[in-house]
Amino acid sequence: MLRAFYWRLNLGFKKIKSKRLRKKLGNNIKAIITNSENGLFAVDPEDLEVGQKLRSGGFGIEELERLKKFINNKSKVLIVGTHIGSLAIPLSKHCKEITAIEANPNTFELLEINLQLNNIENITPHNIFANDSHEKVEFLLNTVNSGGSKRKPKKSNFLYDYDNPEVIELESHRLDDYLPEHDYDLILLDIEGSEYFAMKGMKDILSNCKTLVVEFLPHHLKNVADIDVETFLSVLPGHFTKFELPDNKQEHSISEVKTVLQKMYESNIGEDGIIFTSN
């Protein structure tokens, strides 16, 4: 009860702060250009998560250092949930090419601007929603945390609608059908509860990758996807031999994955990026 009250208070405060900043800047200001450790970025002034962190100096720097270990100048990378490019753009300097998937049309516009601001030529962006079928899906356009925009959850929750997001319809695609390239050294999946559906629609692509990094948040499984741990793991390819939980400072054999993730699920413990490797 106290935890729920804390989040309502915290997110409510962020909503007020975001709207005040928008009012101060006026409706004609679409983006703020900021120089950060990640590069030069156009960010949404209302975004108090990734946008604010970039304005304050940098975002995901530790994660970037981790990811660099899995790539070299010949590597091909697929990022599903690229947002405005805060990870993709700095990573592009350490690999051969990146395929960047971003569903949110607003953040996709900023992604394209940021690619130009940083003179990036080895990232190919796609404004599509990754799914397990070709269909229309309802999508929430969050503003206070634009990176938290997501498919309309199957179970509503204050965490997802506290900033009264606009709901739009998007065309979705199976990446196995949409992408001509199926061989990637590193795949990043962070799409706010749609990871299961995306993985179900990219089984061929996943079967060829060396390293997979995927977000795991119990409340997303329960509310957004409405699935259990066993269902989530059913789309994981069988060639991985171990996995790492950087946020929780753990490493395990793949044989332990169901037990470990089930305990996390029951304890409501999340992981921004589980790292699955095959060596």
Is 51 a domain residue? no
Sequence-distant (6+) residues with CB within 8 A of 114 are 39, 40, 41, 42, 84, 85, 89, 120
CA gap 165, 91 in Å, rounded: 30
Q: What is the pLDDT of residues 2-27, one digit of tens each?
A: 455 555 666 665 666 666 766 666 67
For residue 110, the enclosing domain spans 60-277
pLDDT given for residue 5 in this prediction: 53
Q: What is the pLDDT of residues 183-193, one digit of tens each?
A: 999 999 999 99
Is 31 a domain residue? no
- In the predicted model, residues of the chain with pLDDT beneath 70 are 1-19, 21-26
Is 218 a domain residue? yes
- CA torsion 72-76-80-85 (nearest 10°) is 60
Q: What percent of the chain has pLDDT over 70?
A: 91
Is 27 a domain residue? no
Is 251 a domain residue? yes
pLDDT given for residue 7 in this prediction: 53
CATH number at residue 211: 3.40.50.150
pLDDT given for residue 138 in this prediction: 98
Is 83 a domain residue? yes
- CA torsion 34-165-213-276 (nearest 10°) is 160
Is 43 a domain residue? no
Is 7 a domain residue? no
Structural domains in the chain (count): 1
Q: What is the pLDDT of residues 160-179, one digit of tens each?
A: 998 899 999 999 999 999 99
